[in-house]
């Protein structure tokens, strides 16, 4: 474990407390989580120039290009964060991913979509659940 991890968590909580942007807070946690697990993050909040969707994080894991959707909740009282990904969201992510793959020239056979679900209850601890290949990206 990184000896600075408690300081990073404290800084994240203080920033969240100031701005109250739970989505940005979750993306910060997800970015750090992916890097810690060997991913190389290459883009955050990527949107195609013509519009039509956003990809929270784009990363490489070995030879695989991974499009990551991040869902963060402060409470699981109503539903788990990963349950908020519906057909429209999958369509929007697929559309943006298709554009990214076309522009970058990546091999479409080495692409997947992951979901990171983050639960936080306003403490210094949070739980991250990583769903690999959570949904099919139609390229």
Q: What is the pLDDT of residues 10-53, one digit of tens each?
A: 776 666 655 467 788 889 899 999 999 999 999 999 999 887 78
Instruction: Please tell me the pTM assigned to this model.
Output: 0.81
Which of 139, 5, 129, 113 has the alpha carbon at shortest distance from 59?
Answer: 113
Of 32, 82, 77, 83, nearest in space to 59 by CA: 32
What's the confidence (pLDDT) of residue 122? 59
Please report the domains of the chain, with CATH numbers, ordered by start residue. Answer: 5-135 (3.40.1350.10)
pLDDT of 59 reads 98
Q: How far apart are CA 82 and CA 79, in angstroms?
A: 8
Each residue of 93-111: pLDDT tens digit?
Answer: 999 999 999 999 999 999 9
Contact 57, 31 (CB under 8 A): yes
Q: What are the pLDDT digits (tens) for 27-38?
A: 989 999 999 999
Q: In sequence order, what are the residues at sequence separation of 6 or more whose Cβ sits closer than 8 angstroms to the Cβ of residue 30?
A: 56, 57, 68, 70, 116, 118, 128
């Amino acid at each position: 474990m990184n000896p600075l991890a408690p300081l990073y968590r404290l800084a994240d909580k203080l920033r969240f407390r100031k701005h109250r942007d739970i989505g940005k807070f979750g993306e910060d946690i997800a970015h750090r989580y992916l890097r810690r697990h060997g991913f190389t993050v290459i883009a955050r909040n990527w949107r195609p120039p013509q519009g039509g969707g956003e990809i929270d994080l784009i990363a490489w894991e070995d030879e695989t290009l991974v499009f990551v959707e991040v869902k963060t909740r402060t409470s699981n009282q109503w539903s788990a964060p990963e349950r908020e990904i519906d057909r429209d969201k999958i369509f929007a992510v697929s559309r943006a991913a298709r554009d990214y793959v076309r522009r970058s020239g990546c091999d479409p056979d080495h692409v997947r979509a992951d979901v990171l679900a983050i639960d936080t209850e306003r403490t210094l601890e949070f739980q991250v659940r990583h769903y690999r290949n959570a949904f099919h990206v139609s390229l």
